Chains A and B, each alone.
Chain A
Amino acid sequence: GQNIDQPTEMTATEGAIVQINCTYQTSGFNGLFWYQQHAGEAPTFLSYNVLDGLEEKGRFSSFLSRSKGYSYLLLKELQMKDSASYLCAVRDSSGGSYIPTFGRGTSLIVHP
């Protein structure tokens, strides 16, 4: 199984940059996902990392270090609509199921 740890809550100012960290422990790492979930809605896919390094997609970037069991999601030029929960999910290949396990999520509050 996996242990996934991410901060419960973060606050940031509109226009700023925020970094949401995720650490994990897994026996057979096979990819890490980030999802955004607005209150009362389903999660939507943001990014996927399987190799070390930074993946950039517009205002959002995701970084992975497999040796450290560490990832972060970087949000630039924050907007009020970025207020949401951000879920880190890790896929484990052990057991053959390849199903991601989700962390509890980080609630990001963006204020003016």
Chain B
Amino acid sequence: SQTIHQWPATLVQPVGSPLSLECTVEGTSNPNLYWYRQAAGRGLQLLFYSVGIGQISSEVPQNLSASRPQDRQFILSSKKLLLSDSGFYLCAWAGAGNTIYFGEGSWLTVV
């Protein structure tokens, strides 16, 4: 069966520091992969999606970036975090019927 994992689960980072969130999917090949953010009291916002290695589409302009160095690995990065980057970050993949399945999520607090 397919599984998705992301880490770290929680992190507290100072303003201006870098960020790296990692996500891996097991049990499938060439999945569509996504990064979402959920700010407090707000809905899920799509940040990036990828349909293959090295293929990244950005949905919103921001100081975040994404990379897909391997088929089942998706990384979310920032060179310098802002206070507004705080939130709940979710990696997801598209399964049968293009249903989105989410990883466990990563809580980021920028201080």
A100 interface contact, C-beta 8 A = yes
Give the complex CA separation of A100 and B93 in angstroms. Answer: 12
Residues in B with CB closer than 8 Å to A43 are: 44, 90, 102
Residues in A with CB closer than 8 Å to B100 are: 33, 45, 89, 100
B29 interface contact, C-beta 8 A = no
- Give the residue name and chain of the B residue nearest to A104 (CB): B43
Judging by beta carbons under 8 Å apart, are A103 and B103 in contact? no
Contact of B98 among A31, A41, A44, A104 (CB under 8 A): A31
Residues in A with CB closer than 8 Å to B42 are: 104
Q: Smallest CB–CB gap between B52 and chain A, Å? A: 14
B74 interface contact, C-beta 8 A = no
Interface centre among B34, B98, B101 (most CB of A within 10 A): B98
In the complex, chain B residues 57-111 whose Cβ is within 8 Å of any chain A Cβ = 57, 90, 97-105
Give the complex CA separation of A42 and B99 in angstroms. Answer: 15
Residue interface mask B45-62, A partner, CB < 8 A = 1: 010010000000100000
Judging by beta carbons under 8 Å apart, are B104 and A42 in contact? yes
Residues of A within 8 A of B (CB): 31, 33, 41-45, 48, 87, 89, 91, 97-105
